[in-house]
Every structure is written in C-alpha cells, then in structure tokens.
Amino acid sequence: MFKIVVLVSGKGSNLNAIINAINNRILEHVEIIKVIGDRSCLALEVADKNKIDWCLIDRKNENFSKMLLESIPFDADLIVLAGFLSILDINFINIWTNKVINIHPSLLPKYGGIGMIDIKVHEAVINNKELESGCSVHIVDQEVDRGKVILQKKIPISNFDTPQGIQKKILKLEHEAIVMVINGIKDKEIILC
C-alpha cells in the first residue's frame, strides 16, 4: 500500500479529489493515512467525513515545526501539500527530502513564492496580460515554490477572463494533476530526485 499524508489549510478540494480518485479506483493501492491541518479549515471536515485520521497543529504555536514533524507517521511514502499555506522548515525538508510535493495554481517558476497564494496569483496573471496560466506540481525543497517541477497543466487566458474565472478553471486542473502525479510516483513512473 502506498501511504500518503496530506497537509491542508483550506477548502480541501484537492484532498477531496484524491479521496474521490481512491474511491473510484483511479488511484489504486493508495491510502491517505493522515491529514494534518495548520488551522481550522474545511479540509479537516473533509477528512473527518471520510473517516481519515486527522489532526490540527496550530501554525501560531511556537513549536509548530517540531510538532508538525512529530505528527508525520514514520511509514509515510509521500507527503502531499494540498492547499497548505505554512512554510516547512529546513529540518522537515532535510528529513523528508524528495518525499514532499506541492500543488501551486500557476506555471512555476512564474507567480510563485511567499505571498503568491490563491486569488493573488490569478490577479497578477491578469495584470501582466499573460496569454496562459495553469497549475504546477513540484517537489518541495528549501526554497518556496522553487523545487523541481514534475507536471504542469495549462489554460489559455483571454481578455475576458477574470481572476475568479481563472481560479475556478485552474482548480479543476489541479485536481487532475495531483492525482496523476501521486499515481506516477506510486507506480515509480515518476522518480523524485
């Protein structure tokens, strides 16, 4: 069984996509062994509703990084940041090197980095008159949103697009991309290095 831990901060739509893929046997031999939130969020309700072990570690706690590291089951095969907004410290990255992936709603390295989250990303894309955008699944390393890109999915941007409209279209792509990458890593078609 390929065991994944999912870290969350938001609505949990990416978590839900992974759960649905498991239930629909698109993701076979994959188990979400734990969901960890850094704040009270809908994603933890998604975990609870699906009877997945979950915990909340408050990002404001002074021992957040230590507690987060200690809460990761030792037998996890992959850690998936799915809408997770806290920054993993260097100790965490060193211990879980090449075992952590993140989904980001832009074509990295463009529109990534600290502060580039959610609607802000899409507003910047529109303001800069980009002709395309999309999402990226990448390896998490010590530089925020700068790890090796594993998969990108793209959409064209027109003059009529709004940030909210782009966000909605890209979220759908994220759900496909995160499942594809988990499958690829599980089947050793994608090697994280």
Binding residues for ligand GRF, rule: CB under 6 A, are: 8, 10-15, 43, 82-83, 103-105, 118, 171, 174
Which alpha helices (H) appear in the chain, and where do they start and end? Answer: 13-23, 42-49, 64-71, 90-95, 119-127, 163-186
> What is Dmax (Cα atoms) for the chain?
48
Rounded-to-integer distance, Cα 3 and Cα 28, Å: 11
Rounded-to-integer distance, Cα 43 and Cα 151, Å: 23
Minimal CB distance residue for ligand GRF: 83
Active site residue 104: yes
Nearer to ligand GRF, 69 or 171 (CB): 171
Nearer to ligand GRF, 104 or 186 (CB): 104
Is residue 102 within 8 Å of residue 138, measured between CB atoms?
A: yes
Which positions are annotated as active-site residues?
104
